[in-house]
Amino acid sequence: MPKNILRQKLRKLLQQISREKRSEKSKKACLNLISTPQFGSAEVIMMFLSLPEEVDTTDAIQFAFQQGKTVVVPKVFRREKYMIPVRLSSLDDEFTAEFASLRNPVSDDSVGLEQIDLVVTPALGFDLKGHRLGRSGGFYDRFFANDKLRAVKCGLGFEEQVLDEVFVPAVSTDIPLDFLVTDEKIRYFSEK
């Protein structure tokens, strides 16, 4: 199935999850995430600031703060097609919402890629081999391709976003995840 058709199908599927169900499933996904040894041992965690139809990462971010971890989030430069990790001091930090409901931090307090222990990434879909189908911007693929990044890569989504491996077409620039966390399961793809 072509990526554009698959993206449409997944967007529609996510829109059909009610607000109440999404909240319940998000809490379960965050509990699963914080239970992983990778989250537990990470000192610097890169999280995403959720779009309305994605897993709400608020609980995981707040737990990381309570544990004294450094939380960084992507600051996206859309025109230039790249993102940098910036330190988040609280969920009350200042953000802009320039496009597609994406909260973009105003802060320029960047953190070196080599300091990040765990990157938690969203996607529209995930397959059973660790590939992710993003929103077509390629931001995370370019970010993951940087040689300075040594972090463990984790996908976070709803179980409905997990597809048979044949449905997520991987290309040579796609970098697979090390593990995937949903509201129902934790799946490991590598030994990291």
Q: What is the pLDDT of residues 164-190, one digit of tens each?
A: 765 565 666 678 899 999 999 999 997
Q: Are residues 75 and 88 in contact, defined by beta-carbon separation less than 8 angstroms? A: no
Using a pLDDT cut of 70, give the percent of the chain over it. Answer: 92
Structure-model confidence comparison of residues 170 and 20, the more confident one: 20
d(CA 107, CA 103): 12
pLDDT digits (tens, 9 = 90+) for 40-74: 999 999 999 998 899 999 999 999 999 999 999 99
Q: Which CATH number fits domain 3-188: 3.40.50.300, 3.20.20.120, 2.60.40.420, 3.40.50.10420?
A: 3.40.50.10420
Identify the CA nearest to 42 among candidates 117, 114, 95.
117
Residue 138 zone, left/alpha/beta (φ > 0; ψ -120 to 50; rest): left
Structure-model confidence comparison of residues 117 and 52, the more confident one: 117
